[in-house]
Chains A and B, each alone.
Chain A
Amino acid sequence: TQLLEQSPQFLSIQEGENLTVYCNSSSVFSSLQWYRQEPGEGPVLLVTVVTGGEVKKLKRLTFQFGDARKDSSLHITAAQPGDTGLYLCAGGSQGGKLIFGQGTELSVKP
């Protein structure tokens, strides 16, 4: 059974601080995707990484896929209150299936 462990589960920081969210597994995934979800809405895709060692940057967000394609991280620089939300990592599996981590609830206080 493929599992993704995401940490930390909860994160409360002040505006301007940096943070990193981790996603780890003992399984190899074909891709690692990061989503952000706001209350009452569905997850919104932030990025997909497919190559081991790949790094993608989206403004203040940096995503990394581990060399062995078993882990990933999301780093946010100078967090803002608008970054508040539930961050989810998801591993691509066969047959159109995504395996989701438990999520990281991020709260950025002004």
Chain B
Amino acid sequence: KAGVTQTPRYLIKTRGQQVTLSCSPISGHRSVSWYQQTPGQGLQFLFEYFSETQRNKGNFPGRFSGRQFSNSRSEMNVSTLELGDSALYLCASSLAAVSDYGYTFGSGTRLTVV
């Protein structure tokens, strides 16, 4: 079965621009989470959606937002990009409503802000 698909794989943006990243979870998975991975901070939780509702949000500024559609696909948006937003953005999906059963991650979107 198809895994978690993230598009695009690579993105280069200029400071001040905005960007939208897309994630298609495994079919049937209703929980979708987003993480930011950087060499200095590791993997940091951005937000999690379950059945179109944001259940939890990490400690990121309001420039980071997301949403989930009725087909469980999710998008995250970053406005007014800063150099420090350069990172690997990972999406993960799970069948369960709780985090304890583990997640399947996509390959990520590598965002570079110049």
Residues of A within 8 A of B (CB): 30-31, 33, 35, 40-45, 48, 50, 88, 90, 92-103
> CA separation between A42 and B103, bound complex, in Å?
11
Task: Give residues of chain B (66-82) contacting chain A, Cβ–Cβ below 8 Å.
Answer: none
Q: Do B90 and A43 touch (CB < 8 A)?
A: yes
Task: Give residues of chain B (5-44) contacting chain A, Cβ–Cβ below 8 Å.
Answer: 31, 33, 35, 42-44
Across-interface contacts of A92 in B (CB, < 8 A)? 98-100
Across-interface contacts of B65 in A (CB, < 8 A)? none
Task: Give residues of chain B (82-104) contacting chain A, Cβ–Cβ below 8 Å.
Answer: 90, 92, 94, 97-104
Name, among A30, A95, A100, A101, the residue most crowded by chain B CB atoms within 10 Å (CB to CB). A95
Q: Do A97 and B48 touch (CB < 8 A)?
A: yes
Name, among B33, B42, B43, B58, the residue most crowded by chain A CB atoms within 10 Å (CB to CB). B43
> CA separation between A99 and B45, bound complex, in Å?
7
Task: Give residues of chain B (49-73) contacting chain A, Cβ–Cβ below 8 Å.
Answer: 50, 55-56, 58
Q: Do B102 and A101 touch (CB < 8 A)?
A: no
> CA separation between A28 and B101, bound complex, in Å?
17
Distance (Å) between the CB of B33 and the closest chain A CB? 6
Q: Do A98 and B90 touch (CB < 8 A)?
A: no
Mind listing 16 A-B residue pairs with CB under 8 Å?
A31-B100, A31-B101, A41-B108, A42-B90, A42-B92, A43-B105, A45-B102, A48-B100, A48-B101, A95-B48, A96-B98, A97-B56, A97-B99, A98-B33, A101-B42, A103-B42
